Amino acid sequence: MTAVRPRPARTTGSSEPPRGRRRLRIAALVATAIVLITLDFRGSGGILGTARDATLEVLAPVRSAGGWLTSPLRSAWRGITDYEDLADENAALREELASAQEDVLAAGELQRELDALLTENGLNAAPDVRRVVARVVQAPVSSFERTLELDRGGNDGIAVGMPVVSGGGLMGRISQVSPSRSRVQLITDPEVSVGVRLVRSGDVGASRGQGPDRPLEVDLISLETPVLPGESVVTSGIQGSQYPEGLLVGTVVDVDALPIADSQVVMVRPAAAADGLRFATVLLFEPEPIPVPTTTAVPSTTPATAPTEQTSTTATDPTSPDTSVADPPTGLVGDSPLVEDDLLGGTPGQESGP
């Protein structure tokens, strides 16, 4: 005969508090979360940003070790899923290598010519800016995370807002920095806008991302400006811009006229692709300080249309971008510290967060 052992009197969640107190606790937690979100949005969350930077730093060795540990697994997976593609790619790369070796001989002379042309057209993309090459950590912590992580940070001189380029052109900008790591917000992110210039016409506009694998949307381009598919688009680099002048952003793929707004929307394919990227270069670029207009320099008899006053007014008036855009690089837009976001009515200071 088997002795029946009494089952312990345990129940799932037996020590749950009464319903009223339980609701109160959940309400308190929800309220705390909402307060945190509000603090983060208001920018008063300095401590939250610091905590995130510290976490980025603390997790750096863990993520590096994880990358090393999972590397064989990822390689095996890629081998299985991309085997045929890899074989084709290998053959294509061999051909490209042979061709590239021949091209290298001619590249030196072409580079000199290119530098001369770029300088002549005011497109010399920050030749004197120091650069830091970093490895890209392609390991998003969440499915909703669309930034890239780099294995270099503040110790290498990287700071929030600095532009990041890959071989093809502008890729994004630094959005978070810890001593040895940094995060890049891509220009394809809808929350990032970049002041750009059409190379042929010199017309200035603002590009905004529409998500990965989608073209950038450049607006504020005058309806009279002729825009052709294939035309290059570069950073405008106007005063106060976070990007140096002349960085390749992409090429025009489509143009839509907006007769009512007397402008056209230009679709631009980004030159830099983030997918499968192994390395990226951070330009240690610091924007030029905005000169503060001095009211004492303006005589009291100066009419309201005097340049100094126009500049001052435009810098605080985001509702008048058309005049500015029609008057490229040296125009009024150039004097606005918020040009890239102001032109689109976006919010400045998004460098500190998403």
Partner 1 sequence: MNLPVPLKLVMVLVTAALLQAGIVSWLNVGGYVPDLLLVVAVAAGVVGGVDRGALIGFGAGLCTDLMVTTPFGLWALVGCLTGAAAGYVSGTSLVRSPTNRAMTFAVAVGAGLLAFAVLARLVGQASLGTIDLPLAVVTGAVAAGILSRIASRVLTWALGPDVVPPGRVP
Binding residues (CB under 8 A) for partner 1: these are 7, 9-17, 22, 25-26, 29-30, 32-37, 39-41, 45, 48, 51-52, 55-56, 59, 62-63, 65-67, 69-70, 73-74, 138-147, 175-176, 183, 185, 188-191, 209-212, 214, 353-354
Kindly state the smallest distance separating residue 268's Cβ from partner 1, in Å.
Answer: 16
Q: Which is nearer to partner 1, 2 or 142 (CB)?
A: 142
Cα 232-238-239 angle, rounded to 5 deg: 160
Q: Which is nearer to partner 1, 317 or 351 (CB)?
A: 351
- How many Å apart are CA 133 and CA 158, to the nearest integer? 11
CA distance readout (Å), 229 to 200, 202, 251, 256: 11, 15, 7, 11
Kindly state the smallest distance separating residue 145's Cβ from partner 1, in Å.
Answer: 5
Kindly state the smallest distance separating residue 30's Cβ from partner 1, in Å.
Answer: 6
Kindly state the smallest distance separating residue 104's Cβ from partner 1, in Å.
Answer: 35
Q: Are 28 and 20 in contact (CB under 8 A)?
A: no
Q: Which is nearer to partner 1, 31 or 228 (CB)?
A: 31
Kindly state the smallest distance separating residue 336's Cβ from partner 1, in Å.
Answer: 22
Q: Which is nearer to partner 1, 41 or 291 (CB)?
A: 41
* 218 alpha carbon, distance to own chain's centre: 15
Q: Which is nearer to partner 1, 11 or 301 (CB)?
A: 11
- How many Å apart are CA 255 and CA 118, to the nearest integer? 25
Give all strands (DSSP E) within the chain, no chain letters: 131-137, 148-150, 163-166, 169-177, 182-186, 193-198, 204-208, 216-222, 232-235, 248-258, 263-270, 279-283
Kindly state the smallest distance separating residue 38's Cβ from partner 1, in Å.
Answer: 8
Count CA atoms closer than 13 A to 83's CA, side-chain side: 5
Q: Which is nearer to partner 1, 49 or 287 (CB)?
A: 49
Q: Which of 211, 258, 254 has the alpha carbon at shortest distance from 233?
A: 254
